[in-house]
Chains A and B, each alone.
Chain A
Amino acid sequence: MAARADILALAAQLRAGFEARGARAVETPILQPADTLLDLYGEEIRARAYTATDALRGEQMMRPDFTVPVVQMHMTQGADPARYTYAGEVFRRQEHDPDRANEYIQVGYEVFDRTDPAASDAEVFSAISQALQGLSLRAATGDIGILKAAIQGLKTTDTRKAMLLRHIWRPRRFRALFERYSNPLDTAPSRAALFRAEDPFAAAGPEIGLRGRAEIAHRLHALRDDVATPPLSQHDVAIIDSLLAVRETAPFALQQLRDIAVDIPAIMPAIDRLDARLSALADRGVDVDNLDFEASYGRTSMEYYDGFVFGFYAEGRPDLPPVATGGRYDALTRELGQGAEIPAVGAVLRPGLMLELQEMAG
């Protein structure tokens, strides 16, 4: 473990570096209102963030990341475009791995800019990459937007697409749903009886709770429709499978994706965005020919990324968390913007891990 003073010094230096790129340094409170975070992340945030309670303000969470407060601040009072940087502690509960830190320093760089998303993606990636120079790291990249576009492009009902989209972040659940939709539905006998019943509520108990009769009837209707929905074609199944399997250096990945897009043109705009991003990265001197691209990358994080995603990992140290992670989160600005939205991309670094790796390298 590096000394705290050294970590803080490096954090200040990194933040100053981002300021030199035109970012405004910002501070956010450590205690965040719990309801915003809960609404955004769901119950999972309680497993990751520390909750503090008092009788006056109720539940508050100790800042699990800076992104949410920075986006909120930007959405209420930010200039357009804007760049921000910050450095400070974040807090994460650890219930399974005692070697993972529950408090550490993060330094971040966030770009809110409508003009050229590909250029902003490249700007953030190369800023982080340069800050990490000298460390032996492997960059991983992906693009959640391509997967989303592919799901939108499937020949099936909007209900099924919505279910698949909502479980992108839960690969096991996604796989189970995908397999179910790929085969004729097997209706349980009890459910078949329910569909046949004149009054499906005949054997039900009294109507209690907020979820009322109309809501249940509505879902019964949707379930009946779903039974009548034909399974995904073998063609569509093969497309998603080959898309999820793309794992190559960026130029080859791009070529594979273009081949796949012949069969599912809906992903073309997303692939053009990837293409533009790779050009923008090359313009910034990133060695794109040797950059890894993985179509499934970023799906197991709890985050809100909906386009470009990336992370930097210590070579030969799979036990360590990523030294930096980032990505595009346009949807988050929509969620927090109460009607307003702005394309946004950002990333965070962990100076403590950077020092640890430097020490190990001697």
Chain B
Amino acid sequence: MTLKLGVPSKGRLMEKTFDWFAKAGIQLSRSGSDREYAGMVDGIDGVSLVLLSAGEIPRELAAGRIHLGVTGTDLIQEKLARWEQQVEEIRPMGFGDADLIIAVPRFWVDVETLDDLDAAAADFRARHGHRLRIATKYHRLVREFLRDEGVADYMLVDSQGATEGTVKNETAEAIADITSTGETLRANHLKILSDGLILRSQATLWRSRVADYDGTDRQALAELLDRVGG
């Protein structure tokens, strides 16, 4: 058997992951053509590369189909119930920084905090006859955060992309989404609530607690952890 390492299959996240492992003397690469999702590993024995969508890596780790995986804290916590029992954090990797935040229109001069959001939601519901809608793809994280903070009279609406545009399009009144620089938010006339940070996320190397590890897997894991300083 080989130790299976799951890595995002495209874009900057893949490139930065390859660079990060390269610094530890482990060369990851895509084999064959650009369109083929197969990978190669050089510089360490007993490790194989599995290229996956970043969003599927939490599920694969939790199913034990991969031993190690690179994905954001946000996706792990959103997709896995009781995530601490299914995966172990090996090392934050220092890139892919993103904050999951709650943002409202800048035009809402009366709303700066979650407390304001709660009060505005109560008014909104009484006036419009439906709950204040928050567009997001991070349903569990946002719901649990707002429950802990005691915000009521809102509802989540699903948005898998272009979430910042939902307010202008009047399919939502506020959003909960990932931001790194805040530029997209500003361009869409949105502002972050002062206490609206739900989670700080970055690309992280995770180990599956449920995968099977045979003797050679364990050896390869020890070697890899040693090299990356996990």
Contact = CB atoms under 8 A, between A and B. Distances in A.
A207 B107 contact: yes
Contact of B106 (A42, A174, A205): A205
A2 interface: no
Contacts of B16: none
A204 B143 contact: no
B210 interface: no
A9 interface: no
B81 interface: yes
A282 interface: no
A200 B109 contact: yes
Contact of B108 (A162, A216, A223): A216
Contacts of B110: 194, 216, 219-220, 223
Interface in B120-159: 120, 122-124, 127-128, 130-132, 139-140, 143-144, 146-147, 149-150, 152-156
B124 A209 contact: no
A189 to B, nearest CB: 11
B122 A201 contact: no
A220 B146 contact: no
B173 interface: yes
A96 B170 contact: no
Given A211-B108, A211-B173, A215-B124, A206 B189 contact: yes
Interface stretch (A21-29, A43-51, A134-142, A347-355): A43-51
A213 B150 CA distance: 26
B98 interface: no
Interface in A195-223: 200-201, 203-211, 213, 215-216, 218-220, 223
Given A210-B128, A218-B123, A223-B110, A42 B105 contact: no
Contacts of B218: none
A98 B118 CA distance: 32
Contacts of B192: none
B49 interface: no
B112 A191 contact: yes
Contacts of A219: 110, 119-120, 123
Nearest to A217: B110
B168 interface: yes
B107 A206 contact: yes
Contacts of A244: none
B82 interface: yes
Given A43-B155, A43-B156, A96 B81 contact: yes
Interface stretch (A104-112, A163-171, A234-242): A163-171
B143 A208 contact: no
Interface of A: 38-39, 42-44, 46-47, 95-96, 98, 162-163, 166-167, 170, 172-174, 176, 188, 190-191, 194, 200-201, 203-211, 213, 215-216, 218-220, 223
20 contacts: A42-B131, A42-B152, A42-B155, A46-B156, A47-B140, A47-B143, A163-B122, A166-B152, A167-B150, A172-B150, A173-B150, A194-B110, A201-B107, A204-B107, A205-B107, A209-B105, A215-B124, A216-B108, A216-B110, A220-B109
